[in-house]
DNA sequence: CTCAAACGTAGCAAAGCCGGTTACGAATCG
DNA sequence: CGATTCGTAACCGGCTTTGCTACGTTTGAG
């Protein structure tokens, strides 16, 4: 199947924004779950993907938790998207019957179309970094102006 | 929920390519189902969306079936995408807790991000018309629906 | 007018995915 | 050692998609 419904990208962006707003501090999955209206296990599952992609680090134990691994301006939303979705088809594909020649060609066309659409999304997402999000969501009273 | 798994876009493109390759002929949902490896009810459900969007017409009764409503060069894949997905979120959204101010701002940012990504996909899909697909899948002139 | 073909749609079932929850082991710090 | 937190498995309920049957409705043929 193509792209199951999920809110993982949104959750990942939300959590990363929180982490990037305070890059030195450890954040526990319980805290992050409370902030995002989710639960600790789900947060750890999603952040596990980001860790595998090298976007965050984690440490168990007391004073453990999660940290971003690099400056907020170096992580784009395209990185986040790739980390959480992998190679899933964006638009959805179907399986044409192998005995229909036209169907097979349409199939190949659809794979191409899906690839181009995914590239378009990645290009658009690459225009926004975590730093942009931290700045536009900073509620601490710090100057927001460019 | 955001974007449930589905293969409707692929099915719609497949069927429309078949219809557009033979714009004068009526195609029954049974024939189209056989060509796409699906079943007549599902085909009618998906084509119902395309009919509501004005992309196809249908007629019951003997010699009934489905027809495209306009030249293949006038229907882009963006039209098809809009017809089958409506206003569903492309990347997926989540529901931040209303008592978290930062969460609310991130939420608004995510809506914007999703909108821009959807626009990027639409722009990419708008570059391909049904005519392009008919031409690239009709090289040999093989009979439709065999 | 009657009949058969085809649509339109409801309803049900199987399958799959998502997210919440509990549970438990592993790692880490005090 | 003991408490804290991650890592992950297992299970569940709920939702969506898709296939299938069924039945009423529309339409054309004779």
Chosen for mutation from A137, A138, A140, A141 (greatest number of chain B CBs closer than 10 Å) is A137
**SS3 sequence, A50-106?**
HHHCCCEEEECCCCCEEEECCCHHHCEHHHHHHHHHCCCCCCCCCCCCCCCHHHHHH
Please answer whether residues B125 and B77 qualify as being in contact, where contact means their C-beta atoms are separated by less than 8 angstroms: yes
B54-86 exposure pattern, b = at least 16 Cβ within 10 A, e = fewer: ebbebeeeeeebbbbeeebeebbbbbbbbbbbe
Tens of pLDDT, residue by residue over A77-130, are 999 999 999 999 999 999 877 777 888 899 999 999 999 999 999 999 999 999
% of chain A with per-residue pLDDT over 70:
91
Tens of pLDDT, residue by residue over B6-21, are 899 999 999 999 999 9
A42-56 exposure pattern, b = at least 16 Cβ within 10 A, e = fewer: bbbebbebbbebebb
Q: Which one has a higher pLDDT value, B108 or B99?
A: B108
Query: Which residue in A14, A95, A116 is closest to B106 by CB distance?
Result: A14
Q: What integer pLDDT is reported at residue B96 of this predicted model?
A: 80
Whether pLDDT at B2 is above 60: no
Whether pLDDT at A146 is above 60: no
Q: What integer pLDDT is reported at residue A139 of this predicted model?
A: 58
Which nucleotides of strand C are protein-proximal, with an atom < 7 A from a CB?
4-11, 16-23, 25-30
Task: Return the bridge partners of B27, or none.
Answer: B66
Q: CA–CA distance from A1 to each of A5, B78, B97, B103, B132 (Å)?
A: 11, 21, 31, 31, 26
Whether pLDDT at B146 is above 70: no
**CA/C1' separation B146–C1 (Å):** 37
To the nearest whole Å, the CA of A73 is away from the closest chain B CA by: 17
Q: Which one has a higher pLDDT value, B62 or B2?
A: B62
Q: Are A10 and B142 an interchain contact pair (Cβ–Cβ within 8 Å)?
A: no
Whether pLDDT at B97 is above 80: no
Residues of chain B contacting A27 with CB distance shorter than 8 Å: none
Find, in chain B, the residue whose alpha carbon is nearest to that of A32. Answer: B103
Whether pLDDT at B101 is above 60: yes
Q: Are A5 and B7 an interchain contact pair (Cβ–Cβ within 8 Å)?
A: no
Residues of chain A contacting B38 with CB distance shorter than 8 Å: 94
Whether pLDDT at A12 is above 80: yes
% of chain B with per-residue pLDDT over 90:
82
% of chain A with per-residue pLDDT over 90:
82
């Amino acid at each position: 199947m193509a792209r199951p419904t999920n809110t993982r990208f949104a959750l990942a962006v939300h959590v990363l924004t929180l982490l990037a707003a305070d890059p030195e501090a450890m954040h526990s999955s319980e805290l992050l779950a409370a902030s995002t209206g989710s639960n600790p296990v789900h947060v750890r599952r999603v952040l596990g993907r980001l860790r595998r992609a090298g976007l965050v680090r984690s440490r168990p134990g007391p004073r453990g938790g999660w940290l971003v691994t690099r400056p907020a301006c170096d992580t784009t939303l395209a990185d986040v998207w790739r980390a959480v979705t992998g190679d899933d088809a964006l638009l959805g594909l179907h399986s044409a019957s192998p005995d229909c020649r036209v169907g097979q060609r349409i199939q190949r066309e659809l794979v191409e179309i899906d690839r181009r659409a995914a590239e378009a999304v990645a290009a658009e997402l690459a225009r926004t970094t975590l730093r942009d999000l931290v700045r536009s969501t900073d509620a601490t009273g710090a100057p927001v102006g460019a």
